[in-house]
Amino acid sequence: MKVLGVAWGSALAILHGADADAQSYPTKPVRLIVPFVPGGGADASARLFAAKLSESLGQQVIIDNRGGAGGNIGAELASKAAPDGYTILWGSANLAMNATLYGKLPFDPVKDFIAVSLLAKSPNVIVVHPSLAVKSVAELIALAKSAPGKINYASGGNGSTAHLASELFKTMAHVNLVHVPYKGSGPAVIAVLSGEAPLTMVPALAVMPHVQSGRLRALAITSTQRSPTFPDLPTVAESGLPGYEAAQWYGAMLPLGTPDRIATRLNSDLVKIVQLPDINARLVAEASIPIGSTRQQFAAYLQEEMTKWAQVVKFSGARVD
């Protein structure tokens, strides 16, 4: 009994210590792991939030870029970090896609993390070369059905977000478009600009200058709601495919076991940051849609995304290079 008493006392001490640490959090710099290389959309959005979060927490938030394997290297590192609130993962849609795309991962996007808040979505735009005789999603679907297997689409590579977004479109529209992978979204856009490929799905900000110049024609945006950046551009969902959504998204996640008090604190701080006028305006200027969800909403959304992309990967036979 004495041994059990000592053990129980030790356990209580640990719990009280953890609770005390959570209440005093943070007392040192916080690491924000971005599982992609510097310069991309994930990195830019993470840095935008990190600067404000540093002010809110009163401690420096340090960006730690850990690119590789479609985001899996950084995510695995975050999943194995101490669950003390000093390591945050900048999660993205790739987490949900990779769960099936890579077969077996050394971490589970749902079971190994606490979802803190979904902060922003960056939708793609369906763009076509002007020579393709379509001006809407409905016309594209009709043309594809009249010529099955005759229309190609470019993507940034096998297993890329644009590839899976296009495969979701094919599945929901019941059309047969032929995938032509390129080494990145940049080359895919160039292929459509030159007429080498008739259409692609790419981040809105990357192609809207070409749309405005008339070199490309935008048909629709892939979010569930219209973009505040391009309010006149219809969504795919309202253009004939109800329920369609294929947006890149970004959100904060913590290693499983992080004290609830810390997760709640970070959710509160991050949601307030999204609502700041300068941050909100910056996100819109970068063709993103500000969100700022509850922890429960983000957890449910992540599960929905994993289920959706698992079905797309299975149906399409998509694989990584």
pLDDT tens, 247-260?
A: 999 999 999 999 99
Assign 3 a pLDDT band (cuts: 50, 70, 90).
very low
Would you state the structure tokens that stand for residue 205, as one six-digit string? Answer: 């900000």
pLDDT score, position 316: 87
pLDDT at 308 over 60: yes
**Residue 264: what residue type?**
T
pTM, two decimals, is: 0.88
**Domain assignments of the chain as residue spans, ordered by start:** 2-122+248-316, 123-239
Superfamily of domain 123-239, CATH level 4:
Periplasmic binding protein-like II (3.40.190.10)
pLDDT score recorded for residue 4:
46
For residue range 130-179, what is the model confidence (pLDDT) as tens digits? 999 999 999 999 999 999 999 999 999 998 889 999 999 999 999 999 99
State the pLDDT at residue 310: 94
The predicted structure's pLDDT at residue 12: 46
Pair 197, 152: CB distance under 8 Å: yes
pLDDT digits (tens, 9 = 90+) for 195-212: 999 999 998 888 989 999
Question: What token pair was written down for 9?
Answer: 């006392």
Q: In this structure, what token pair is assigned to residue 23?
A: 């209440």
Strand 177-181 to strand 151-155: parallel, antiparallel, or no bridges (unpaired)?
Answer: parallel
User: Residues 49-66: what's their mean pLDDT?
Assistant: 98
* CB 171, CB 160: distance < 8 Å: no
d(CA 213, CA 64): 38
Residue range 2-122+248-316, CATH number = 3.40.190.150
C-alpha distances in Å from residue 318, one per residue of 34, 100, 164, 189: 25, 10, 8, 21
Task: Render pLDDT for 212-250 as a digit per residue (tens, 0 to 9).
Answer: 999 999 999 999 999 988 899 999 999 999 999 999 999
Give the span between the Cα atoms of 59 and 24, in whole angstroms: 12
pLDDT of residue 23: 77
Q: Is the pLDDT of residue 5 over 80?
A: no
- Are the beta carbons of 78 and 253 closer than 8 angstroms? yes
pLDDT category at 21 given cuts 50, 70, 90 is low
Q: Of the candidates 131, 143, 124, 141, which has an alpha carbon nearest to the alpha carbon of residue 233?
A: 124
151: alpha, beta or left, given left = phi > 0 and alpha = psi -120 to 50?
beta
φ and ψ at 142, to 5 degrees?
Answer: -60, -45
**Tokens read off for 264:** 């709640």
| CA gap 286, 47 in Å, rounded | 13
What's the mean per-residue pLDDT of the chain?
Answer: 92
Phi, psi of 90 (to 5 degrees): -85, 90
Pair of tokens at residue 47: 């840095």
pLDDT given for residue 19 in this prediction: 57
pLDDT at position 9 is 52
DSSP-based three-state secondary structure for 234: coil
Question: What is the structure's pLDDT at 10?
Answer: 53
